[in-house]
């Protein structure tokens, strides 16, 4: 015997839960770690490879277009950091080296 459906399950808005967190440092806190800052300023391609490797991916991943955006989004997802893919894209597009430094500092702190 079938019963009529009296209520539909409601979708969840967003994916953040009460255990969401923030980045350990802001995008423009580059000078908190001078080693990361200098690497991000003068050889960002090397820092991108290190960030990718620290995240658990191949160090050659940054050679693929859009992969740094995927890594940043992955860091946010792994550590439940608030944000969106759109915000990640804007941050990487307009403040790329600073965003890369933020990602390196975050992985350094969390690992």
Q: How many Å apart are CA 44 and CA 89, to the nearest integer? A: 17
| Domain locations along the chain | 34-110
Of the candidates 72, 46, 75, the residue with the CA atom closest to the CA atom of residue 60: 46
Backbone angles phi, psi at 21, to 5 degrees: -135, -175
Quick one: pLDDT band at residue 30, thresholds 50, 70, 90?
confident
Q: Is the pLDDT of residue 25 over 70?
A: yes
32 in Cβ contact with 25 (< 8 Å): yes
Rg (CA), the chain: 18
Which tens digits make up the pLDDT trace of 35-48? 999 999 999 999 99
Instruction: Tell me the percentage of the chain whose pLDDT exceeds 70.
Output: 86
27 in Cβ contact with 95 (< 8 Å): yes
Which tens digits make up the pLDDT trace of 52-91? 999 999 999 999 999 999 999 999 999 999 999 999 999 9
pTM for this prediction:
0.80
87 in Cβ contact with 27 (< 8 Å): no
What average pLDDT is seen over the chain? Answer: 88
99's tokens: 């965003």
Quick one: pLDDT band at residue 50, thresholds 50, 70, 90?
very high
Q: Is the dihedral of CA 59, 62, 63, 66 positive or negative?
A: positive
């Amino acid at each position: 015997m079938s019963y009529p459906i009296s209520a539909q399950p409601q979708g969840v808005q967003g994916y953040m839960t009460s255990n969401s967190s923030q980045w350990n440092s802001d995008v423009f806190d580059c000078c908190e770690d001078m080693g990361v800052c200098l690497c991000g300023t003068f050889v960002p391609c090397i820092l991108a490879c290190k960030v990718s490797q620290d995240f658990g991916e191949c160090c050659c991943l940054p050679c693929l277009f859009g992969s740094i955006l995927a890594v940043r989004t992955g860091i946010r997802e792994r550590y439940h950091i608030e944000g969106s893919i759109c915000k990640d894209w804007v941050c990487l597009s307009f403040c790329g080296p600073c965003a890369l430094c933020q990602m390196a500092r975050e992985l350094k702190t969390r690992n």
